[in-house]
Every structure is written in structure tokens, then in C-alpha cells.
Amino acid sequence: MKHGKKYREALKSIDKTKAYEAVEALDLACKTAAAKFDETVEVHVRLGVDSRHADQQVRGAVVLPNGTGKNVRVCVFCKEDKVQGAKEAGADYVGAEDLIERIQKENWMDFDVVIASPDMMSTVSKVAKILGPRGLMPSPKAGTVSPDVAKAVAEAKAGKIEYRLDKTNIIHCPIGKVSFGPAKLEENFDTLLQAIVKAKPAAAKGTYIKSCTVASTMGVGISVATVKYGV
């Protein structure tokens, strides 16, 4: 793959043989981000588990202290008694069968997070084949199936992100924007890494965190030392 001039220039300021401390790596990610838009900073964590085994899955959700910098559009499925609370918490769309019909007939997908009360999951399951492949199907593990939909909405709006292992045993997560600066990004990074360490499966053997890299949307991957997390 041929990289552009800005990417090659950024590469010169990064020692690819070194694992940087988190704040230093994030500072480099910010300084080398050269796009004309406010790039997202992402974390990529390779774990020493095997995603093919059910007892080695790693999945959960965590609220980043400084949010993600993204305006999250939240869609809520709930009964009438919870509608007002969901709206007051900031939900963009609240409904039931009416929203299911829009998704089925119009392929309507103008939302980033779907939250449902437990008693609505049989209704939401009607569009599971549409929401599932997009990573939008509500899940108790991600905190998006909850009897307290208002709280779930507030957390989603505040910067709650879901982390989950992919087929190559890597977790990919956004932790904010370049404009946040290294200090705020480090707070988000720490919160995410601590959550991933806490979610370590009992069946996991050997080194848990194999490697960790941070990068801006258009930037160079920078290796991060994870020794302080004790895994």
C-alpha cells in the first residue's frame, strides 16, 4: 500500500521499535495527525485469548470520562411508561412497533446506539438480522438492554463505548478526538484498558495483553507499553 507524503513525514517522528508510555504515544498521535478534520484517536488491543472459544470472549462497555467527542444518536425501544424518561435523558428517537416498521420498510438507520427495556426484546428481535450485522442489536453485556432506559441513554450520550473481541482477537475502540489533547485522551485510554483487564476471562492463559497500538484516523500506528496494567 502506497502512503501519502503526510503519512511518510509522520512516520519519521515515530520509533517503530519502541513501546511508548501512553501519554507520550497519544501526544505523538495528536502531533502527527495532519488531516483537515478533527481525527478520531483509536486504540487497538491484541489479546492472548482465542475468540473461537465461548469461555474466552471479552466484551463489555465503559463510560469514558471525557466522552468520545461524537454526537451519539440514540434510539430507544420501550413501553409508554418509560417514554418520557428516555426523552428527558436525551434519546433522539423513542418508540416501539412504529420504529420497527420504519427499519423494516424504509431501511431507516439514523442512529448510532439502540437501547431497549427487557420487555421489548421480543419486539426488537424482529429486526435482529438488520441490527445485528451493524453491531446495533441491544445486549445486556453492553448495557443496552436495561430496565432503566433513561440511565442507559444518559450513559450513551456521556460517552459510553462498547468493546468486544473480533475474529482476530483484537479489540478496536475510539477514545476521543485529536482536539482533546494527550491528557484527556490518556484518561480515556486508562479507563478503557482497566475495563479490558477487569474483563479478563478465567480461561485465558499466558500473556493477556499481547500488544497495544494507538492511531488517529489517518495516522501512523504507535505502540504503547502496557506493563503497568500487570498483565
Predicted local confidence at residue 55, as pLDDT: 93
Strands (E) in 19-152, as ranges, are 40-47, 59-63, 74-77, 93-95, 113-116
Q: Tell me which residue range forms the domain holding 110.
A: 74-157
Q: Are 63 and 166 within one domain? A: yes
Residue range 174-222, pLDDT digits in tens: 999 999 999 999 999 999 999 999 999 999 888 999 999 999 998 888 9
What is the distance between the alpha carbons of residues 195 and 200, in angstroms, rounded to a whole number? 9
Q: Are 139 and 183 within one domain? A: no
Query: For the chain, what is the domain count?
Result: 2
Q: Are 90 and 53 within one domain? A: no
Residue range 86-124, pLDDT digits in tens: 999 999 999 999 999 999 999 999 999 999 999 999 999
Task: Tell me, yes or no, if the pTM score tops 0.85.
Answer: no
Q: Are 153 and 78 within one domain? A: yes
| pLDDT beyond 80 at 49 | yes
Q: Which of 129, 157, 185 is the last residue of a domain?
A: 157
Angle (nearest 5°) at CA 209 between 204 and 210: 105
Q: Are 62 and 29 within one domain? A: yes
What is the distance between the alpha carbons of residues 53 and 175, in angstroms, rounded to a whole number? 28
Q: Are 151 and 164 within one domain? A: no
What is the distance between the alpha carbons of residues 89 and 179, in angstroms, rounded to a whole number? 26
Q: Are 61 and 165 within one domain? A: yes
Q: Are 32 and 63 within one domain? A: yes
Query: CATH number of the domain that 203 lies in?
Result: 3.30.190.20
Predicted local confidence at residue 228, as pLDDT: 77
**Mean pLDDT to the nearest integer, 35-63:** 93
Q: Are 55 and 168 within one domain? A: yes
Residue range 25-48, pLDDT digits in tens: 999 999 888 889 999 999 999 999
CA 18 to chain centroid, in Å, comes to: 26
Instruction: Work out the pLDDT band at 153, boundaries 50, 70, 90.
Output: very high
Q: Are 78 and 48 within one domain? A: no
Q: Are 134 and 87 within one domain? A: yes
Query: CATH number of the domain that 127 lies in?
Result: 3.40.50.790
Max intra-chain CA distance, the chain: 58
